[in-house]
Amino acid sequence: MAAGRMAGGAGAARDLLFRAAAVTGQLAATFLGLLAVTFVIGRVIPIDPVLAIVGERATEAQYEAAKEALGLNEGILTQFAIYVRDALSGDFGTSLLTANPVLEDVARVFPATLELATIATIIGVALGVPAGVVAATKPGGLTDQIVRLVGLMGYSMPVFWLGLMGLLVFYGQLGWVGGPGRLDTTYEFMFELDVTPVTGAILIDTALAGAWDIFLNALSHIVLPASVLGYYSMAYISRMTRSFMLEQLSQEYVATARVKGMPEWRVVWVHALGNVMVPLVTVIALSYATLLEGSVLTETVFAWPGLGLYITNALFSADMAAVMGGTIVVGAVFIFLNMTSDLLYRFFDPRARG
């Protein structure tokens, strides 16, 4: 029996190592594909990276020297190998706009995007999941029609237009929220003097420092852009939740539970929603990734100093190192969130562990 247990343990260990190797290989292949796509985009876009660095008044000798320094005089495969080597070492080049390493710039601006997208996702989940569940309990009813209409409006209205209207009404006319940016000018100076950045998220850093006046000002600035993105997220999550719940509520186990006299709230919110959580985790993760990647317009409208605004400004300035570096970061976030959703899928669904 001891030998059997040892053999079983060894088999389980081999299986675990095999799965770990498979996941690692999949992640490596996906990231390599991401680098290949960004490399091709960088070569296809009609912007000369050498000319962007040396300027139009550079001599031919200066141009050729910069080209050789960048490795652009090598063959295309050699250029890609250099590009992969630099990317894996965290070297995405130097930004023309800031004269800083791109990775340093991304590390500075990404927390603002992460903070905005996280709050927006919390809003989307907190409103979208209950709305989808309630709508599915009485399909075709008044609540269902309202939820579907609100979701349709969230899909139909451009996010930049919604942001502009929000600024016009809630900031310009009513004065209920803060304007563009993360802080008022006065509070920016106070933040620099009184708060030591720890996470890069203003709400967390000011709370940790006990600077509640700056915290409230930051909250007044983030509430509108987060609500705009949260509404967009809610529209998607409520629609998918409703669809998943309609499928579950038509299953035999739901009818059996009702026949046995189980309370309706328990049937809906415990059993049906519990089964819905498996695909819903993936939906929420993808929605979160979409907000991290797709908040460019919102950050531009609200002058939010995040990754989206950074990439937009870099693109307008032909700063391809910053554009490609930011794109790689966004793609890496997608890969990480997909992996996380897969792990959560296995956690919620025991059938996927086999």
CATH assignment of the domain containing 121: 1.10.3720.10
Residue 100 contacts residue 212 (beta carbons within 8 Å):
no
The pLDDT value given to residue 12? 58
**Statement to judge: residues 190 and 55 lie in one domain:** no
Chain-centroid distance of CA 112 in Å reads: 12
Question: Taking the alpha carbons of 193, 198, 199, 205 in that order, is the dihedral positive or negative?
Answer: negative
101 beta partners: 94
**Statement to judge: residues 249 and 118 lie in one domain:** yes
Domain that includes residue 134, residue range: 102-353
The pLDDT value given to residue 205? 92
Of 11, 267, 3, nearest in space to 136 by CA: 267
| Share of the chain residues as helix, strand and coil, in percent rounded to the nearest 5 | 80, 0, 20
CA 265/CA 263 separation, integer angstroms? 6
Does the residue 93 lie in any domain? no
Does the residue 258 lie in any domain? yes
Question: Domains in the chain: how many in total?
Answer: 2
The pLDDT value given to residue 58? 75
Does the residue 97 lie in any domain? no
CA 145/CA 202 separation, integer angstroms? 39
Supply angle C-alpha 83, 55, 303, rounded to 5: 75
**Statement to judge: residues 298 and 164 lie in one domain:** yes
**Statement to judge: residues 201 and 257 lie in one domain:** yes
- Between the alpha carbon of residue 60 and those of residues 54, 88, 157, the distances in Å are 10, 32, 50
Tokens of 218: 């930051």
**Statement to judge: residues 39 and 125 lie in one domain:** no
CA 152/CA 298 separation, integer angstroms? 19
Q: 261's torsion region: left (phi>0), alpha (psi -120 to 50) or beta? A: left
Mean pLDDT per segment of 10 residues, for the chain of length 354 residues? Answer: 53 66 78 84 72 72 76 78 84 83 90 92 94 91 90 84 91 90 89 87 92 93 94 92 91 86 87 86 86 79 89 82 85 80 67 52
Does the residue 311 lie in any domain? yes
Of 75, 289, 316, 114, nearest in space to 202 by CA: 114
Tokens of 43: 């070569």
- Reported residue count of the chain is 354
Domain boundary among 33, 54, 88: 88
